[in-house]
Every structure is written in structure tokens, then in C-alpha cells.
Amino acid sequence: MSFDLKTTIQPNIERSTPEKKLNRLIDEIEQQKLLLAAWQNAKDEIRAYSQKALMPAYHELYTTLYEQMQVLWNSLSCYDLSKSDTAQVDSKIQALARLLKDSNMLSQKQLDEVEKMHAYYQQASEYTQKKKSKKKMTESFDEFENLDAEDESFEEDWNSEQYQQAKDQAKLKRQQDKQAQAEKIVNQSLKTVYLKIASIIHPDREPDESKKAEKTELLQRANEAYEQEDLFFLLKFQLEVEQSKNGSNKGLSAEQVKFYQQALEAQSQALKKQIQELIDSLVWSNKAKIAVQKSKGQLNISDLYKQIDADVSAVKQQLKAEKQRLMYMGKESGLEMLLEHQVL
């Protein structure tokens, strides 16, 4: 059975603006469904490709960074470093531990070592912070003369930060509310349209056995679409069965156009969310995320393969640089050179 939702809208007369908008929305949903199907078909292949091409490079990179952390830790006891150099090394070790602690590229033994290192520097940082706080509390009265002005400045900064947080939270809530409303409309429309179809088709009311068998098959298709929450199919199906019942192609009333537009907009929002979630699940690097944002959810599958290749190239370049850095770290003269030029 063929479905053409657009041809049912008042044939042989000038289309109204709502009808034209409805037609554009129908075209958009058709494209969204094709795009979603393409991504669903390609996702396993994309994941397999990225696992094969990207994961080995990432694994080697994180292993190299782990080795850097260990070499630098040993250098603190092996070499006579100045106070400023020691601070640089400590800062680098802490940064590496923070980066590596949630990695899934290291063995459990390596992760345990990273966690110990991270905990050590966390405790050291907290201890230093407490000392600074204690020192502030014991400062002379003269140093607190400008306290009121500083408090006002701090309060302004705090208020500004709180305002931005509240603004961001409000924006997120609006997006969530919009999505929730769209899902609610889809669910309500699904039930409404399905019940309408069932009341028109209902095989039990058909005395003719051949027509009864045909209606049973049609109802089964409606049941499957309802279970799959395919509102777009059900809307087109409803129009088809209504026209079949009336024996005409008289088109949609203004009220019907409004209902279909609202329901289809909700369906479009749901499809956009599905596509975005699927693409997000295949995207891992910052460069790839930026590419997705720029494409506004219309990233081509071939573009993602190109991005994977670009990411592999970038990781390999970084790996080469980190291995060279590790080589210098392993020697006292090399470490001194890195510290001197502040490229640790």
C-alpha cells in the first residue's frame, strides 16, 4: 500500500501557508528517517573501523604518558632539583595523574598506581590550601582595612557567576521541557491516531471474509507501527484508510492540518534527538565533536570516517612528540633542558 500524505491536502486548489508548511515538514521527516536509518546501518562498521584505527594509537599514547609520570616521580629522588624545578615536576606529575586516572587504556595495575599518585597530590594540595587559609587568618588588622570593598567585589563576582549558572540552567530546562512536551504530544498522538485507525478498520465488524482478511492484515500493520512508536507511518496510514472508507480524496480540513502539523513537529523533534544521540555515541574527540556541532546534526557518514583518519594522524603526531619528551625525561641533562625551556 502506498502512502502519500501530501497529495491529500485539498487537490486542485492553491495551497494555504499551513498546508505548504506541512508539506515541507513531511519532506523533512522523510529525510530524517532516511538519515537515521543510514546511521543505524553504519554504526557498527564505524565503531569497528575506529577500534581498529584509533584505539591502538590511543593505547600507546596513554602508556607513554604513564611512563612519563613514573620517570618524573623517580627523578624527584634521583636528581638534586631546585625548588622551582621540583614545583614544575610536581605540577606535571599531578596533571598526568589527573588525565590518566579515568582512562580505560591502562591495565588495572597501572590504574592503581595512578590512583595512588593522584591521591598523594590531592592530599598535598589540600594541606597547602589549609596552610594558606591559616596564614590569612593570622594576618594583621591593617591588611583587613579594605575587607568591605573586597567583599563587595567578591559578592559581585559571585552574583555574576550565579547569574550565568542560573541562565544556563534555565536554558537547559527549556530544552528539556520542549523535548518532554514533544514526547508527550507524540505519545498522545500515537494513541489517538491508532484508535482512530482501529475504529475504521475493525475486522470483526466486516461480514465479507475476503475484506475481513485484508482488514486484519491492515490492523496488524497498524499494531506494529504503534508498538514501534512510528507516528509518521500511522498518520499516513490513517489518511489512507479514511480516504478508502469515504471513497474520495477530498483532502484535509484546516483543523486536521493543524493537528497533523503539531504531531509531525513532535515526531521531527524526536527523530532529531535519536539522530543526535546516535552520532554522539560515535564521536569521542574534541575535533569530532566540533565537526558535529558545526554540521548541526547533518554530519555525513563519510565525513566521520575522514574525521577518524584525521584523529588517528593527530594522535600519532602527539605520540611521537610524547615519546621524544619521555626520552629527554629519562636523562638528567634532558630533564634539565625541558625544565629550562618550560616544555616539560
pLDDT above 80: residue 76? yes
* Statement: residue 271 has pLDDT above 80: yes
CA dihedral 211, 215, 218, 223 (to 10 degrees): -160
pLDDT digits 0-9 by tens, 130-173: 776 666 655 544 555 554 555 555 555 556 666 666 666 766 67
Highest mean pLDDT among 145-149, 176-180, 300-304, 329-333: 329-333
Question: Which residue, among 9, 33, 20, 38, has the nearest Cα to 232 in the 3D structure?
Answer: 33
pLDDT in tens, 184-213: 666 677 888 888 888 888 888 888 888 888
**Domain assignment present for 246:** yes
Q: Which residue has the higher pLDDT, 124 or 128?
A: 124
Taking the C-alpha atoms of residue 210 and residue 169, their distance in angstroms, rounded to an integer, is 59
If one compares 270 and 252, the residue with the highest pLDDT of the two is 270
Which ranges of 79-145 would DSSP assign to H, the alpha helix? 83-100, 108-137
| Long-range contact set of residues 21-26: C-beta below 8 Å, sequence gap at least 24 | 21/261, 22/257, 22/260, 22/261, 22/264, 25/261, 25/264, 25/265, 25/268, 26/264
Instruction: Write the CB contacts of 25 (distance below 8 Å, at least 6 apart in sequence).
Output: 261, 264, 265, 268
- Asked if residue 146 is part of any domain, the answer here is no
Q: What is the mean pLDDT of residues 229-251?
A: 73
Considering only 15-24, 145-154, 292-301, which range has the smallest mean pLDDT?
A: 145-154
pLDDT above 80 for 250 = no
| pLDDT for residue 327 is more than 90 | yes
Q: Are 114 and 97 contacting, i.e. CB atoms less than 8 angstroms apart? A: yes
> Into how many domains does the chain fold?
1
The angle at the Cα of 138, spanning 136 to 142, to the nearest 5 degrees, equals: 85
Write the single-letter amino acid at 111: L
**pLDDT at residue 274 in the model:** 86
Q: Is residue 137 part of a domain?
A: no
Q: Is the pLDDT of residue 39 over 90?
A: no
Is the pLDDT score of 117 beyond 60? yes
Is residue 245 in a domain? Answer: yes
Q: How many helices (H) and strands (E) does the chain have?
A: 11, 0
pTM of the model: 0.57
Domain hosting residue 179, numbered range: 20-132+173-341
Answer whether residue 153 is part of any domain. Answer: no
Whether 279 is in a domain gets the answer yes
Q: 3-class DSSP state for residue 176?
A: helix
Question: Looking at per-residue confidence, does 294 or 337 come out higher?
Answer: 337
CA triplet 101, 312, 279: central angle to 5 degrees? Answer: 80
Residue 301, domain member (yes or no): yes
Q: How confident is the model at residue 9 (pLDDT cuts 50, 70, 90)?
A: very low
167 in a structural domain? no
